[in-house]
Chain A
């Protein structure tokens, strides 16, 4: 049952995602891509519970590695996007 409930959430979010990016000017393609990329670093919150949990040594280490990678993606992603957009404004 929980699978169905999760699929329900998935379906709704997909539609929201489609609708959000309907009309976007060409200049924003790259920043938008970069910004969305930073959001995909949300894996971090999954990684946190693996890195701090107690389901075996390997699971913890992989969780810590995942948390590291995801943090690089999140922090780097948001900062690069901000730099791109800051550059935009000056022009």
Chain B
């Protein structure tokens, strides 16, 4: 069969350009809607051309998941109340993180001879994706008042978080040295999920939009890590764009509220932060 690799990558270049252009247009009020359209075209083109990949041999699962995904996503976006849009964005973001976890996991399950570098970036995709997912779900629950919206802090939280970070590092070591053992996969994903909950729990009230923006940045980084694992340029470019612009946006939002980014980020590692707002 004819090899489409060159064509795919050429179209990826166009797609990456359109993503950059779309983001640029999106940051000016008069052109914002056009920017969103440009970026959705970039996504569409990228998806279509990816289907020519020679590694794709069967299409039934692809068709099923794309159709059901479009229906669910479209339905949720159309039916949502205007007032609960931030919650929905948070939820979509979490689902995006979950997708990165699934891609990362699928990579380690599908290949038994991965290099240490690929294993490391796969670990990052699992970790960041997992944190994004559980963190976004907690943020969604807080915003929709399923759980208390105020910062939840408890005694020994800083200690628990440091312990958690040590465990995450340990799990990285175990995962990279013995990637075929499923136990370590569960351990990495489980710890990532707990970490996401712990990161978002101590943040609340007026800080919530900042957290969602930060988690959005994380979901970009997770996509970026998955891009390294799959050696896919466009995933890296788009993921890095979202990751970097997300961090900057988070920073801008923090400044607007007279808070420093570090202050919001480390809420779980210090005594209760009094929110003056």
A interface residues, Cβ below 8 angstroms from B = 2-3, 6, 9-10, 13-18, 20-56, 58-89
B75 to A, closest residue via Cβ? A76
The reply to whether B19 and A9 contact each other, CB–CB distance below 8 Å, is: no
Interface size on B, as a range, is 35 or more
Chain A's closest residue to B105 (CB) is A62
A contacts with B: majority SS: helix
Task: Tell me how many residue pairs across A and B have CB atoms closer than 8 Å.
Answer: 337
Contact of A40 among B61, B74, B85, B216 (CB under 8 A): B216
- CB nearest neighbor in B for A83: B77
Q: Interface of B with A (CB < 8 Å)? A: 19-20, 22-24, 26-29, 32-33, 35-37, 39-40, 43, 46-47, 50-51, 53, 55-59, 61-62, 64-66, 68-70, 72-74, 76-78, 80, 82, 85-86, 88-89, 92-93, 95-96, 98-100, 102-103, 105-107, 109-111, 117, 209, 212-213, 216, 219-220, 222-224, 226-228, 230-249, 252-253, 256
**Nearest Cβ in chain B — how far from A68, in angstroms?**
4
Q: Would A71 and B29 count as touching, CB distance under 8 A?
A: no
Complex Cα gap A69–B96 (Å): 6
A37 to B247, CA, bound (A): 13
A3 to B27, CA, bound (A): 32
Q: Which residue of B62, B226, B244 contacts A48 across the interface (Cβ within 8 Å)?
A: B62
18 contacts between A and B (CB under 8 A): A13-B237, A14-B240, A14-B244, A24-B252, A38-B43, A39-B19, A40-B238, A42-B235, A66-B103, A68-B65, A68-B72, A72-B73, A74-B69, A74-B73, A76-B76, A78-B43, A80-B92, A83-B85
